Every structure is written in C-alpha cells, then in structure tokens.
Chains A and B, each alone.
Chain A
Amino acid sequence: MTPHRFHGRALALAVVALTLIVPILPAPVQAQDSVSTSGALTHFTPAEVARFSKQIEGDLAGRGARVAIVFRAGRAREALPKGIAYTHGAFWVYRDVKTAEGKVEHGYAVYNLYAGDGKAWPTTVSRLVQDFPYDFTSGSTVDDVAVIVPSPEVQRRLLAVIDSPTYAALHNPAYSTIANPLSPKYQNCNGFMLDVIASAVWDTTDRDQIRADLRAHYTPTKIQTGPVLRLLAPLADARLRTDDHSGPLRTATYESIAAFMRDNGLLSDAYSLTFAR
C-alpha cells in the first residue's frame, strides 16, 4: 500500500467514525435548554398546561413564596446526562399583574434567560425575557417540575436584585448550554440564576467577587462524558461550547443549586411537584 493510499483510507475511516459519532453527541452532553417554548406544545394539551401552571402557582402561593426557582425538563429524561433531571430554570416572582381590562390580578411572573433560535437572534446569544407560568410550563416534556423555595430573607434579597439594574448587569449574553458557572466566559439560564443568587446572598454586584465566592462555596454538577464526546461536541452544536472548562465538564443544575442553598441554610424547601392529572 502506498503512503498516499494509506492516508486516504485513514481519512475515510476518520470521517466515517465522525459520521457515526456526531449525530449522537448532543444527547449525552446537553444539560440545558434555555429556549422559549411559548406555544410549542408537545407533552401537554393547552388545557393541561393551564392546569399544571396553576397548580404550580397555587403551590407556591400556598407557601407564601414571593420568589421561587422553578426548573422544567425540556428534553426527554432518557436524553439527559446522568444525574441531571431538569434543563431550564427561572425565577418565579409573585407580582401584581395589570390586565388589558385595567384590573390588577395576583400571580407569578417568570424571569428567564433564553437562548436564541438562530432566527430571531443567534443560538449562542441569550436574552433576559419575562413571561408567565403558562409559557414556562408549556415547555415541559415530563409531568413534573422541581422547585426551590428560598428562605424568606433570601427571597427578600432576590427581589432586591431582580428589581434593580444589577439583575441585567449580571447577564452575560454569550451562551453555552454547558457553561461553566465558575468561569465568566459563558452563561446559561442556571448559571445566570446562580449569579443572581450569589449577588443577593453575598450582597455584592462585583462579578469577580461573585466568581470567587462561588468557587469557594459552590460545587457545580459534573457532566459525565468521555474525551471524544467532549472534543466533538462543539462540532455537533454551536451551543455546546467547552473552551471555558479546564477539567471535567461542569455546569449549574437544579441539583447543585439546591445542594448549595441547602448546605448554606439559604432555602426553605426544595422538591419536585408532579402534575395532578
């Protein structure tokens, strides 16, 4: 075999290997889906979304929660990395809502970080979007959500941050689904919420200080993936950016945020809430 032929075959084999591997990459690596799903019903009917969103609101209101952190699974559980059950989280804030009829109703407004779809804005760029429980719940692919109810004092502090310019100042639009929350380079929905929580509990608006505090006290969730998957992930999806990770892939999740808040006495409760069909 001539060297030329050998290289040709090696190249062909490499390409075929890529062909087989790349399509299956996103499933085990994707830990987040910070996308708006308003109107994109798949798991629930509209009436079920309405009932489930009201069930969540009723649960939070019954607990007196002014601010809660709610997580949904926007992907099938079997497609999520091991140890990660939810993909998108947002602050649910008890608000007075002025209606088109001029009335004021009491309910929750949802404060999200959403990534683009590549049409309205790029997939690797995020925006802060406020919508409502119906919008949030419509994106769930399962019958449950996870809830963190912060302690009353943390709720008070979170309200202070959310209603201040600090909230937007903590946003980094550079988006990665697997953003390392201990690095400032990229941010996803849960990483943004973690920064808001850190700003509130440490009473600081300094992003470097927040990063230092989180490095000392917060342990992100490891995403179990092999070196080949890690190397090829960015080829499969532009949102799977890994250059902010130096060791294992780590990101912020419901599990690690709840653990951080529980370990530091920052929450009243953390639980999953199942749709009462």
Chain B
Amino acid sequence: MRSLVTLACLASFAAPVAAFAQDSVQNGSNAAKASTEVVAGLGASGVQTLSAVAVLPLSVAATGSVVTGESLVASGVGAGQMAGGATAFASTPLPVTNKVIVAQPAPRLPHDAQPPAAKP
C-alpha cells in the first residue's frame, strides 16, 4: 500500500510537468535552429522573408526621456513622428513591408579575438 501511494504521489507531481513541457521556451541553440528552419520552410512556401539586424527607433524622437524620474511625456517625445501634424499622429495609415521579418540565428563567434577583416 505504501509503495502504491508513493508511486501515485510521484506520478501526480510528474504529470503537470509533462503537460507544461510543450509550452516551454526554447534555449538559444534551439532558437537558432528554429529560425533557420523557419526561413527555409517559409521560402519553400513562397513566402518572402528577411532577417532583421536591428530594430531602429529612427522615426521616434525619444531623445529627451532617458533619465528615470524626469517627465517622459512633457519632453517632446514623439515629435519626430509628428511631421504631418499632431492630429495625424497614429491616425493615418502606415506603410508596412510585405516580407516576413524573422530574427537572425543566434550568433556563432570564435572565442578568441579575431583580426579585423581587411577592407576591400
């Protein structure tokens, strides 16, 4: 009886773990593999993809709001996006690329410092 109870108890605690495994976040190597597979898979489906190098807040004038404790909203933040007037901000349609943006694979760099690449 005692063995049965112990076994049942262990099983009950193991069950939720197994159930949640499918929701798990992926580690870096899996993510890199997934990214590569995504690009390959989408390419085979005729979907255009591009790898993002950086996300640029180019059109956001957030320069006046970098110190915690200062007013964030009174410093003209967002003014750079108001070229068309404040009333048009976030109200007029925006262009968006038709390509699917995916992250680049995880970086794979040598451990030791490498000499700079020769300029062409």
Question: A interface vs B, CB < 8 Å?
Answer: 12, 15-16, 18-20, 22-23, 25-26, 33, 35-40, 42, 45-47, 50-51, 53-54, 57-58, 61-67, 74-75, 94-101, 103-109, 114-120, 130-135, 152, 155-157, 159-161, 163-166, 169, 199-200, 203, 205, 235-237
Contacts and interface: CB of A to CB of B under 8 A. Distances in A.
Contact of B57 (A118, A163, A200): A163
A35 B49 CA distance: 24
B72 A205 contact: yes
B108 to A, nearest CB: 15
Given A37-B23, A53-B100, A103-B50, 11 more contacts: A16-B8, A26-B16, A36-B25, A38-B31, A54-B100, A97-B97, A105-B97, A117-B26, A130-B55, A159-B81, A164-B65
A107 B42 contact: no
Contacts of A134: 38, 100-102
A164 B96 CA distance: 24
Interface in B20-67: 20, 22-28, 30-31, 33-35, 37-38, 41-42, 45-47, 49-60, 62, 65-67
Nearest to B89: A152
Given A161-B72, A200-B72, A98 B12 contact: no
A105 B47 contact: no
Given A65-B90, A106-B96, A107-B101, A166 B68 contact: yes
Give chain B's interface residue range (CB within 8 Å of chain A): 35 or more
A105 B58 CA distance: 11
B118 interface: no
Nearest to A121: B25
Contacts of B74: 203
Pick from A18, A42, A66, A161 the residue with the most CB of B within 10 Å: A66
A106 to B, nearest CB: 5
Contact of A61 (B1, B59, B94): B94
B59 to A, nearest CB: 6
B77 A100 contact: no
Contacts of A36: 25-26, 31
B107 interface: no
A44 to B, nearest CB: 12
B95 interface: yes
Nearest to B16: A236
Contacts of B94: 61, 64-66, 94, 106
Residue of B12, B60, B65 ringed by the most chain A CB atoms within 10 A:
B12
Q: For A33, A67, A100, A105, which residue has the most chain B Cβ atoms within 10 angstroms?
A: A105
Interface in B60-106: 60, 62, 65-69, 71-75, 77-78, 81, 88-104
A47 B58 contact: no
Contact of B56 (A65, A98, A119, A237): A98
